[in-house]
Chain A
């Protein structure tokens, strides 16, 4: 079952199944956001490991394609992953 990236605990990994853009979001735009994520290597099928989250609902640190990224939490909630067993 796909869950939002934010529900992964530190150290857990999963495979991206989809990235949801919210059409009701601020004038229905979301293309730029999606394109940006995909350009940074967060394509469907990619393995992603959560390293940690900043406190107070801050960004999530992830490990993807051999590099370390910081992702805003809002974005992270829209990335859905299948948790690795």
Chain B
């Protein structure tokens, strides 16, 4: 029987934590969500010196307060689950900021080992760190590492296990000013026997900082302590003239700065390193934007060219099995349901996922890991502000023009729940690649490219207006951009591949079941001959309100599966691909407009459910259907009036 250990990785964002995680666990890992939360949880196992070690990669955060879900999850995990050890991954090139987080881990009184990572990047900036001295000051083992090269990983693991075995970890906490220490002790002594999951001193500090979650916890146990803490916090505020939380954080940062200055030697470097020159170039007022547009265009062009080619190839290959299938299953109804219902849905899924989603994610992670995405967020912040979001939201928005599903899942990078909801809502309104196929294939081809462009313009105006309205009406505090722009670096290929792989897995899990189910349902409706009555039922809307042809309602229903199906079904129903014969320009225009807006496809709805929960996902869906019908009807009348026939 092997002895089991649990080690958690904690640290700031972009310090190479996930690379260390990958180096430690290799392929034995699993990425899921924290129970009931939309925050990612990466877990893996490894075997070392007779131990089976479970490694948890905690989210990258800057503090252990309650600003974001990630922060709460991390501190609750450390306090409640009590891992045997926490490895704090520290970016050696930004030591002061990283130590601020380290000091908070020390206060949480968890056994600790520090991985002093990216020492090569620190050296390039002219920073040399005396890691032994750092270890001495903090009372915590410090192991220098360069994770992307695997340097120091073995030492790190060895030190971690030794520290657990010897139980030697005895971190030395920082001391605050006398007036604060006295008050911390006063509160901590009262908390001593209360049996809280958190250490008394940490709880006392958090009470003084006014931490909402901890206040609630303590209130349940003894409201008197809470009152006392409030009183004491007020006293500190009077002494310093700043809020107590600011005073404590200040002192913690001062301590981090003091330690950093003591252990690091900075030598001026003669030449600006390449990473900094790249930063200057890519955030340049004049050149930054053309560079960004070129990069984005190149990515889209590359992915669509690659995707188109591969997608056709895979599709042809899979459809090659149809004759074989025909021979095996003779029963007509069964064949329709199994092949046209189930298997075609799977084929459709595969021909989207492999050729488009995989390269999309791969490039996205390369860009993120290298640091370029944060520069893009910097450049696009002002644009995103117009729809009530900040720069980071540009990333899901950009993704959405490819596919709404990864975009919706990508809204996780927003810090607060409010921002996530807002971003997801905006994302579902963006025309994805499939919608573009419909718009260009119908309006672009048969009405005129200027009308297709007009459709996109209308869509942008709608996104802008609805974004503004949602922004104004959602409760809570709007978040602004506060983002670290870490040094450019070379991405770690295996980490990127792993992340892409898990995204693919996630996409399949989320999207496939609903795609198959709804495909079967629609097939069944067709087999039971319900298309005609359904069309009749929809006539007041399709014909009366939108001015479309009666049969077009069915095409819109198919669009729920995948947007490009509206066009394919339209051709099937009308019996021609020369839509000019069967439809008026106005009909094509209105039809495309409705297709753009009316419903996120079933896979996107699934992604929304996963990220936002049932209620909000259904609300967004219903709202968008009604809204699209409204806009479609209005457009029919306005453009009809102005002479589009």
Contact = CB atoms under 8 A, between A and B. Distances in A.
Interface stretch (B95-103, B111-119, B356-364): B95-103
B67 A36 contact: yes
Interface stretch (B19-27, B459-467, B473-481, B618-626): B473-481
A33 B483 CA distance: 13
B382 A54 contact: yes
Given A33-B477, A55-B285, A66-B97, A44 B482 contact: no
B67 A75 contact: no
Contacts of B479: 32-33, 36
Given A29-B476, A36-B67, A70-B377, 18 more contacts: A32-B416, A35-B65, A41-B97, A41-B100, A55-B285, A58-B381, A59-B381, A59-B391, A61-B283, A61-B378, A66-B95, A67-B486, A68-B484, A70-B378, A70-B381, A70-B482, A73-B382, A75-B480
Interface string A58-85: 1101000111111111110000000000
A46 interface: yes
A69 B485 contact: yes
Interface stretch (B156-164, B249-257, B345-353, B504-512): B249-257
Contact of A44 (B242, B245, B476): B242
Residue of B279, B381, B385 contacting most chain A CB atoms (<10 Å): B381
B481 A71 contact: yes
A40 B381 contact: no
Interface residues on A, range: 35 or more
Residue of A27, A37, A54 contacting most chain B CB atoms (<10 Å): A54
Contacts of B245: 35, 38
Contacts of A30: 477
B503 to A, nearest CB: 26
A65 B246 contact: no
27 contacts: A27-B475, A29-B477, A33-B477, A33-B479, A35-B65, A35-B245, A36-B67, A38-B246, A38-B250, A39-B63, A39-B67, A40-B482, A43-B253, A44-B246, A44-B250, A45-B250, A54-B379, A56-B382, A57-B382, A58-B382, A59-B391, A59-B481, A66-B94, A69-B484, A70-B374, A71-B480, A71-B481
Interface string B356-392: 0000000000000000001001110110010000110
Nearest to A53: B285
Interface residues on B, range: 35 or more
B67 A38 contact: no
B472 to A, nearest CB: 9
B123 interface: no
A69 to B, nearest CB: 6
A82 to B, nearest CB: 15
B482 A71 contact: yes
B378 A59 contact: yes
A52 B533 CA distance: 64
Interface of A: 26-27, 29-30, 32-41, 43-46, 52, 54-59, 61, 65-75
Contacts of A68: 279, 484-486
B96 A36 contact: no
B243 interface: yes
Contacts of A46: 253
Contacts of B283: 52, 54, 61
A26 B476 CA distance: 8
B496 interface: no
Contact of B480 (A45, A67, A72): A72
B65 A39 contact: yes
B62 interface: yes
Contacts of B62: 39-40
B67 A54 contact: no
Give the 9 A-B CB pairs with smallest separation, nearest first.
A72-B480, A43-B250, A58-B382, A39-B63, A72-B481, A29-B477, A67-B94, A70-B378, A59-B381
A65 B96 contact: yes
A81 to B, nearest CB: 15
Contacts of B260: 66
A70 to B, nearest CB: 5
Given A35-B65, A40-B62, A43-B253, A75 B94 contact: no
Contacts of B416: 32
A31 to B, nearest CB: 8
A83 to B, nearest CB: 21
Contacts of A41: 96-97, 100, 253
Contact of B253 (A27, A55, A65): A65
Residue of A32, A34, A38, A55 contacting most chain B CB atoms (<10 Å): A38
A70 B148 CA distance: 26
A12 B230 CA distance: 39
A54 B288 CA distance: 10
A69 B250 contact: no
A67 B390 CA distance: 21
Contacts of A74: 480
Contact of A36 (B242, B379, B482): B482
Given A38-B250, A43-B253, A75 B285 contact: no
Contacts of A29: 476-477
Contacts of B95: 66
B287 to A, nearest CB: 12
A34 B67 contact: no
Contacts of B390: 72
A75 B477 CA distance: 13
B391 A26 contact: no
